[in-house]
A and B are shown apart, each in its own frame.
Chain A
Amino acid sequence: MADATLTSSPNARTARRRRTERLNRLTPYLFLGPAAVIMAIALLYPLGYMVWGSFRDWDPSQTIGEAEFVGLKNYITLWGDPNFRESLGVTLRFAFFVVTFEMVIGVGLALLLDRNIRGMSMLRTMFILPMMIAPVVVGLMWRYMYHPTVGTFNRTLESLGLPSVDWLGQHALMSVIIADIWQWTPFIFILALAALQSLPRSALEAARIDGATAWQQIWYIKLPLMMPVLIVTGLLRLIDAFKVLEVILVMTEGGPGLSTEILALRISRTATEFRELGVAAAMSNYLLLLLLALTLGMFAFTRWQEARAAKVRMAAEEDS
């Protein structure tokens, strides 16, 4: 040890060493402490509080202690509530279409633009702009563009002599999906491009020498090799699709009717407009369970992936 000075007695030295050892053993907890405390206070405790509150008939003017305990009533009411089911259906449809289209377009663009061209970094900068901008502002822009009379789309249609479309009325869900595709396809594109550029060059080289066409290269080599990254990306995007709220809130406020009222929006309306915190909490729990299943799926998938990769590596080492 560098601090073992000549003057210190053996006793003092061992005491000091013991102290440093204890400090060393405590270090991880010291480093982790602040994060653990904050997450416990402002994340885990509220989640527990929500589960507790979901069993109660809870009004915003009451504290949770005053609210009446009603057991599973909130969950059962919700399950039978046609509005909730409609909202769940909208959420699932929204998530499904958004992720499907974004994956197809994003990966397609990545395959198309994976070339050695000037200004690629500039291009990527342009593409990530939509997802950095506030969802509130994105909703604002699209609400303007979708506006029935002054909006850009209907004006363009009009000047081309085509009939105008009732974007946020009859086709509200589609319009909302288009806006989300605009905002988040670049995310898939960037990740797919990164995956594509880190593929082993040797495999592609070999395929080219064997005379594989461009389509065959994509279909039999690039896509299978990218698959692990693509699945994780898709799952991440799926989880995020359930979080979307502001864009839809600003564009349609869930309307017309319930046609774009996704779960997150319904939770916030139940809590603030209908003032039924217990029901909103139960709804949050349903959403949370859904996301929990997805996250666990993702976790299991990455673990399985790692295990498989390790096995392949071991086999390769044994062969050589």
Chain B
Amino acid sequence: MDQSYDRQNPAFYAVIALLVFMSVGPVLLMFVNSFKLDVDIIGGTTGLIFLPTIQNYETALCDVLWYEPDHLDFCSLKFGGAFINSLIIALVSTALTLVIGCMAAYALVRFRFMGRDTVSLTTLMVRMVPPAVLLVPVFGLWNNEFCLDRDGLIGGAIRDTFGGRGDVCLAGTHTGIILVYVAMNLPFVIWILQSFIVQVPRSLEEAARVDGAGPFQVFFLVVLPLIKPGLAAAAIFTFRIAWNEYLLASALSDRNTKTVPILIVNNMSEFNVEWGVIMATGMLLAIPPIIFTLFASRQIITGMTAGAVKG
């Protein structure tokens, strides 16, 4: 590095240390507590003097462990299953959102067509819709309208294979939750990617077209590789929302499609909170976002500034 740095007042570094402590402290606290027994958490052995144990993690992950932890009689917390559900839902919805959102953003930037302004305005407007507003209609529609008739051909086939009663509905399936997440994230992804696609020089695309590439080839072979940073940013944000979302998932999921946030909230609302186990589950839920933050903070910041500063 040939860049020279300014010397600063020691007080300045003290302020920075304090800020870092404030922002990372709570996370570290949770990390430390997840390795403590409940006795230690409540008993007030403050600080770092305690015997670390992985018992909390064993309790949380008991349904996917290959051995039976000694301290457990019965595996009540099905964390492993919820983790897999979360993973499926977050990954599939991220992939779908990116592919679909990218194409839409490209069309909005590069082509002049009827209704273009309406489309961009709608995208902007739906971006502000809070998940809580979608709760009622999504609950109603997914349970009552978006169904296959039990007597129909496909619905009947599904009922015969998987059993169960009533019509086959979107509610309670992975597909149902993924559909909401894709729709919810699309406006944001389109918004961010637009600002990246605008920067792709038009002459490159024209050169490819002169060489005989069709519009789809131009898009996939020329434009996509150039907006990789934007794609990474958009992917992280979409994944983060799909991974962290609680409300809609809790309305749409059933016993088998529960995601991790639902599991945590359900265990929190009980009167006697088992802090150690809860913190272990919280830590497991926080690990993927923390990894993203540590390895892709540059992309996250780019995405944030592109999404907001462009207005």
Residues of A within 8 A of B (CB): 1-3, 23-24, 27-29, 31-32, 34-36, 38-39, 41-47, 49-50, 53, 58, 60, 63-64, 109, 112-113, 115-118, 121, 123-130, 132-137, 140-145, 149-150, 152, 155, 159, 182, 186-187, 190-191, 194-195, 228-229, 232-233, 236, 239, 242-243, 245-246, 249-250, 253, 263-265, 267-268, 271-272, 277, 280-281, 284, 287-288, 291-292, 294-295, 298-299, 301-302, 305
Contact = CB atoms under 8 A, between A and B. Distances in A.
Contact of B140 (A49, A125, A142, A186): A49
A291 B5 contact: no
A38 B186 contact: yes
A133 B103 contact: no
Which 6 A-B pairs rank lowest in CB-CB distance, beginning with the nearest? A42-B183, A264-B132, A35-B104, A46-B137, A31-B107, A134-B244
A117 B8 contact: yes
Contact of B27 (A44, A46, A133): A133
Nearest to A194: B305
Interface stretch (B58-66, B152-160, B199-207, B281-289): B281-289
Contacts of B84: none
B285 A136 contact: yes
Contacts of A280: 135-136
Nearest to B305: A194
Contacts of B144: 63-64
Contacts of B286: 133-134, 137
A271 to B, nearest CB: 5
B136 A281 contact: yes
Interface string B111-152: 101001001011011111111111111111100110000000
Nearest to B1: A118
Interface string B39-67: 00110101000000000000000000000
Given A23-B215, A31-B106, A132 B240 contact: yes
A64 B311 CA distance: 38
Given A3-B212, A41-B183, A150-B41, A291 B29 contact: no
Given A129-B293, A136-B265, A249-B265, 15 more contacts: A44-B126, A50-B136, A115-B12, A128-B293, A132-B240, A134-B285, A135-B246, A141-B27, A159-B46, A190-B301, A250-B265, A271-B136, A272-B251, A280-B136, A291-B129
Contacts of B285: 134, 136-137
B121 A299 contact: yes
Contacts of A109: 19
B129 A288 contact: yes
Contact of A47 (B8, B129, B139, B279): B129
Contacts of A116: 3-6
A148 to B, nearest CB: 12
Q: Is chain A's interface secondary structure helix, strand, loop, or mixed overall?
A: helix
Contact of A123 (B16, B42, B180, B311): B16
Max chain A Cβ within 10 angstroms of own Cβ: one of B12, B140, B190, B275: B140
Interface string B298-311: 10110011001101
B289 A35 contact: no
A56 B141 CA distance: 15
Nearest to A288: B133
Interface string B76-119: 00000000000000000000000011011011101101001001
B235 interface: no
Nearest to A195: B309
A152 B119 contact: no
A38 B29 CA distance: 41
Interface string B241-283: 0011011000100000000010011001100000100110010
Contact of B244 (A126, A136, A305): A136
Given A38-B186, A41-B183, A126-B20, A246 B246 contact: yes
A260 B308 CA distance: 29
B14 interface: no
Contacts of B136: 50, 53, 267, 271, 277, 280-281, 284
Contacts of B133: 47, 50, 267, 284, 287-288
Nearest to B16: A123
A249 B264 CA distance: 12
Contacts of A141: 26-27, 29-30, 282
B264 A271 contact: no
B191 to A, nearest CB: 11
B185 to A, nearest CB: 10
A263 B247 CA distance: 14
B279 A268 contact: no
Contact of B304 (A34, A191, A295): A191
